[in-house]
Amino acid sequence: MIKDLKNYTFDELEALVIDLGAKKYQAKYIFSSIHAKDVVSIDEFTTLKKDFRARLADDGFYISSIETVEKLVDPDGTIKYLFGLADGVRIESVLLTNNDRRTLCISCQAGCRMGCTFCATAKLKFRRNLTAAEIVDQVNAVSADIGTVNNVVYMGMGEPLDNYDEVMRSLRILNHHAGKNIGQRHLTISTCGLPDEILRFADEKLQVHLAISLHCATDDERVQIMPTANRYPLKELFEAIRGYQAVTRRRVMFEYCMIKGVNDSDDDARAILKLLKGLNANVNLIEYNRHPGCKFKPSSRQRIGAFFDILMQGGIETTARYKRGQKIKAACGQLGATWDEYGRRGEK
């Protein structure tokens, strides 16, 4: 049985409370105390009867909490948080602010098993999956620091669909009105493309956005930078995406990191158009962010502009995201860039 009360969805907490002989409505008090009021000790549940609190403590229940180890602020306003977990593992989250819109990019694993060659996180040793509590606590910690977080994107360290159950649980916790109450349309999970899990995600009946890290529009190119493409060729991936869309009718966003001489030719842009034909999709072009030891270079802004034009002229809604958080290594693909392979801090 899970002992960390922060790890329970609202429904699971109701079932637990009933199981422990208390009234169902007390689950709402516990859930909102943890997720809306940042309570971190069972002793602070002062509305609960003393003997119920004692029962929770005696049965070994507790409320976990991640620790903010470091906060770095980039001159462009981007903030990177380094969090320490109970077993000493470290993760990073990045806050991007745009007027009133605060978007937090969170991690779902310590390290990543997917091995994308352009990504700093892939160079770290994979430590473990995060629990739902550790995933949502990144939002709790940042909200406590700077105020309401409006959007959450699962684009930090790790592959969300490789930690499927805990990520789904965390989405339900973040969305619940008794907690952070973040609308499902303000939550996005991003995957490098695991077909079975994409189809499973379709059946969750969530309004959460799905983003696919495409990065190349042909298998020959994709296997060079994304090892998962060896297991899941584009044909299989796109069958799953079409299956997802048939069930959910939701638009899918494709992330495309622009790497000089690797995936940024006019032919590549035309290959994307072919691939996305008939899909309800948009493309987000990302200016590649270098990190120590990486062999890739970003495409020029002129090249990104030409690529952008081909996609737009082909009828695909396209946006371009230029570098942010460069000075503090908080940009896309840079998380963990200043760590050694074991997740320790080192100057690289």
Query: Which residues are catalytic, by number?
Result: 92, 332
Asked if 116 is part of the footprint of ligand SF4 (rule: CB under 6 A), the reply reads yes
| Contact between residue 164 and residue 108 where contact means Cβ atoms under 8 Å apart | no
Asked if 114 is part of the footprint of ligand SF4 (rule: CB under 6 A), the reply reads yes
The contact mask relative to ligand SF4 for 281-320 (x = CB under 6 A, - = no) is: ----------------------------------------
Place of tokens 């996180």: 121
Helices and strands (DSSP H and E) totals, the chain: 11, 12
Q: What is the DSSP letter of 338?
A: T
Judged by CB under 6 A, which of 17, 30, 112, 240 binds ligand SF4? Answer: 112
| Contact between residue 254 and residue 276 where contact means Cβ atoms under 8 Å apart | yes
Minimum distance of ligand SF4 from residue 178's CB (angstroms): 31
Minimum distance of ligand SF4 from residue 231's CB (angstroms): 13
Asked if 105 is part of the footprint of ligand SF4 (rule: CB under 6 A), the reply reads no
8-to-3, 20, 166 alpha-carbon distances in Å: 9, 15, 10
Q: Which two tokens stand for residue 227?
A: 């090892």
Minimum distance of ligand SF4 from residue 333's CB (angstroms): 6
Minimum distance of ligand SF4 from residue 273's CB (angstroms): 24
User: Within 13 A of 150's CA, how many CA atoms are on the CB side?
Assistant: 8
Judged by CB under 6 A, which of 33, 121, 129, 170 binds ligand SF4? Answer: 121
Q: How far apart, in whole angstroms, are the C-alpha atoms of residue 230 and residue 284?
A: 24
Q: How far apart, in whole angstroms, are the C-alpha atoms of residue 244 and residue 247?
A: 5
Only segment of 20-28, 117-125, 133-141, 285-293 that touches ligand SF4 (CB under 6 A): 117-125
Residue with Cβ nearer ligand SF4 (16 or 114): 114
Residue with Cβ nearer ligand SF4 (158 or 179): 158
Residue with Cβ nearer ligand SF4 (213 or 299): 213
Characterize the bridge pairing of strands 128-129 and 90-98: unpaired
Asked if 210 is part of the footprint of ligand SF4 (rule: CB under 6 A), the reply reads no
Q: What is the DSSP letter of 188?
A: E
| Contact between residue 275 and residue 215 where contact means Cβ atoms under 8 Å apart | no
Closest CA to 193 of 244, 126, 130, 240: 240
Using CB under 6 A, which residues numbered 124 to 183 contact ligand SF4? 157-159
Judged by CB under 6 A, which of 192, 237, 258, 276 binds ligand SF4? Answer: 192
| Contact between residue 290 and residue 332 where contact means Cβ atoms under 8 Å apart | no
Using CB under 6 A, which residues numbered 252 to 281 contact ligand SF4? none
Q: Which two tokens stand for residue 145?
A: 């620091």
Asked if 119 is part of the footprint of ligand SF4 (rule: CB under 6 A), the reply reads yes
Residues that bind ligand SF4 (CB under 6 A): 112, 114-116, 119, 121-122, 157-159, 192, 333
